[in-house]
Structure 1
Amino acid sequence: MAARALGPEAYAPISVLWSAVFLVTATIWIPVEQEVARLVGARAARGEGARPVARAGARAAIEIGAPGVALVALVAILG
């Protein structure tokens, strides 16, 4: 709907953004999520809590995501 309403030229940046988000999600976030789920499952099988894994997963997500957010903000400011 947006492509029809905006037209090809105005919709192009939205299309690029969607492609970039999809690419980052597929290549970075899904493997992190899978690893955290695997580790939580292994700890649950041993009767251990998931808090250390959740904490490490959150830290990894922040460390991976913060540069991306900074880059997007920089691009938005510069141009």
Structure 2
Amino acid sequence: MSVRQSDILRILVQHLNSIVERDYILENVWGCSNYNNSLSLNVQITYLRKILEADNTISINSLSKRGYVLKVSKN
């Protein structure tokens, strides 16, 4: 897992089951919210989903043009 992926996951865990705005993640991980960083965020989220896919109780949900929600369900 890369440093950026770890930073993104840390932010999502800190806001578990709550919407985390894209701009908030971009500002805290990349330092600014420009188009290139936004595309990089999409890629890093995809990598995180692949890493976490082995555990079906964890999911990262996208809210179009808003942000992400990390959900942990009880099985």
Q: TM-score, normalised by structure 2?
A: 0.34
Q: As a proportion of its length, which structure holds more strand?
A: 2
Q: TM-score, normalised by structure 1?
A: 0.33
Larger radius of gyration: 1
Relative contact order, CA 8 A, sep 6+: which one is greater?
A: 2
